[in-house]
Structure 1
Amino acid sequence: MLLLPRTARALTTDQAAKLVNTVVDEINGLINSGRSLGQIQSGFERIFSRYADVPIIARSVLGPAARSASSAQLNAFTNAFQGYIARKYSRRFNEFKGTAIKVHSARPYKNFYEVKSTAYLKGQSPVEVVFLVSDKSGKDKFFNIFIEGVNMLATERTEIGALLDKRRGDVDALTSDLRTMG
C-alpha cells in the first residue's frame, strides 16, 4: 500500500476573518451578558482556550526558559498561563462593555494573517484591535492581539520574564504564582 502525503490545508484570508468574527461575536456576547466579572473570566478562558494558540503563546512568553523546561513543566505553565491571561484580558475586554467590536479587514502578512477590528466605545474614540492568525499548529488559531497598538505577546514576554527573574528562573514557582495572578 502506497501512502501519499496529504495536501496541507492552508488557511485563507476568509477563514482567518471568520475565526476572528467568531471570537469577536463570543467576546461581545460575553461582555454584554450582564454576568459577573468572575463569570466573564471563566467564559473568556473558554474562548481563549478554544480560539487562541495557547501552547505557542505560552512557549513564546516563557522565552529561553521554555527550551530547558520539561514537558510536564511546560504543560503546567501553559495551563497556569491560560488562566492568568483569561483573568487579565477579561478585565481589559470588560472595559468594552456596552460596545461593539467589528471586524473590518483581513490580509495575508508574512506567514500568517492580520485581521483588523475596531471596538466602538460609547463616548470615546474607537479602539483598534488586531488579531494575528495562523494554522501552523494544525488548527486555525490566533496567536497575538494588539489592543490600541499594544502587542500582547511582547507585553507578556516582558512581564513573564520579569516574574521569572524574581523567582531566579524557577519555572515551577512562576507556574504556581500564575495560578492566582491576573
Structure 2
Amino acid sequence: MPSKSLNRRHFVFTGLTGLALTALPASAFAQTEASAKALVNSVVAEINRVIASGKSENAMLRDFEKIFAQYADVPIMARYALGADARTASPAQLKQFTNAFQGYISRKYGRRFREFIGGQVDVRNARKIRAGYEVRTRVKLQGSSPFEVTFLVSNKSGRDKFYNMFIEGVNLLLTERTEIGAMLDARGGNLNQLIKDLNRTA
C-alpha cells in the first residue's frame, strides 16, 4: 500500500499537471532552455498566488482551471489520455472531451493544493529532448524529504506549454490515460456518457 507521503506527493503534483493545454500547427518562436525554465517558474508562481489569495475553494478551483488552460497543452494531453478512442471520436466529441478533461483535472487535483502551503519548488536545470525540453525541479513539502519533479515542455502549440510531468519517475500523463481508459471501459465505450460524467466528477 502506498505511503501517506507518496500519496500526498502524487495528489499535489498531479494537480500541477492539470495546469494548462491546444495544439496549433506551427511554433511561433524558437524554444530555448531559458523559456522552458521560465514557463515552469510561472506555473509555480501562479499556484502560490492562488493559494495565498484567501478565496473560497470554488473560486480557487476556477483560478486553477485558468492556470491549467494557460500553461498546459490541454488538447495534446486530452488526446493522449483518451488513447485510441481519440482517433474515432468526432471533432465535436473531441472538443467536448477536452473541455470536460480540463475541468475534471482542475477539480480533481485543485482541492489538494492547500498541502502546497509552505512548500518550495526550485527549478534546477533543463535539457533538450526530442519533443522540447525537460525541466527538472526539486520539491520540498512540509514534513517530507525533498524529491524530484520533472516537467516536459514543448512549444508545438505556438508557445511554451508543459504536456507531461514525472514525479520521482512516475509518468503522470500515462497514469491519467490508464484511469480515463478504465472509466470509458466501465461505460461500455460510450464517450458521450464519459464526457457527461467527467463534467460532474470531482
TM-score clears 0.5: yes
Alignment equivalent of 1:111, drawn from 116, 120, 131: 131
The equivalent residue for 2:106 is 86
Q: CA deviation at 1:107?
A: 1.3
How far does residue 89 in structure 1 lie from its aligned partner after superposition? 2.2
What are the equivalent positions in structure 2 for 1:11-22 lying under 5 Å apart? 11-22=31-42
What SS class does the counterpart of residue 46 from structure 1 fall into?
Answer: helix
**Which amino acid in 1 is paired with 2:190?**
D
Out of 122, 125, 128, the residue aligned to residue 142 of structure 2 is 122
| Aligned partner (choices 125, 138, 142) of residue 162 of structure 2 | 142
Change in Cα spacing, 1:37 to 1:118, as seen in structure 2 (3 Å) is farther
| Residue 88 of structure 2 corresponds to residue 72 of structure 1 | no
Q: Which of 28, 38, 61 is the equivalent residue of 2:48?
A: 28
**Contact kept? 1:61, 1:153, Cα under 8 Å:** yes
Could you tell me whether the CA contact under 8 Å between 1:41 and 1:87 is conserved in 2?
yes
Deviation digits for residues 11-66 of structure 1 (CA, Å, limit 9, x no counterpart)? 11111001111111111222233333322221110000001000000001000000
TM-score of the two chains, using structure 1 as the length reference:
0.89
User: SS at the partner of 2:181?
Assistant: helix
Q: 1:26 to 1:8 in 2, by over 3 A?
A: closer
Shift of the 32–47 alpha-carbon distance from structure 1 to 2, 3 Å rule, reads same
Work out whether residues 28 and 158 of structure 2, in 8 Å CA contact, stay in contact via their aligned partners in 1.
no
User: Any stretches of 5+ residues in structure 1 without a counterpart?
Assistant: 1-5
Confirm or deny: 8 A CA contact 1:96 1:119 kept in the other structure: no
What whole-Å deviation, never above 9, does each CA across 1:144-177 have from its counterpart, x for those lacking one?
A: 1223433221010000000000111111100000
The 1:20–1:173 alpha-carbon spacing in structure 2 relative to 1, beyond 3 Å, is same
SS of the counterpart of 1:179? helix
Report the secondary structure of 2:142's partner residue: coil
1:7 deviates by 9.2
- 1:112–1:7 distance in 2 versus 1, CA, 3 Å: closer
Shift of 1:106: 1.4
Structure 2 length-normalised TM: 0.81
Count of aligned positions: 177
Residue 151 of structure 1 aligns with which residue? 171
Percentage identity across aligned positions? Answer: 56
Letter in 2 for 1:99: G
172 and 158 in structure 1: CA distance in 2 versus 1, 3 angstrom threshold: same
Q: Which amino acid aligns with 2:145?
A: S
- The whole-number CA distance in structure 2 between the counterparts of 1:79 and 1:21 is 25
Tell me, in whole angstroms, the C-alpha distance in 1 between the residues paired with 2:27 and 2:131: 18
Query: Any unmatched runs of 5+ in structure 2?
Result: 1-25
- CA distance in 2 between counterparts of 1:53 and 1:8 reads 15
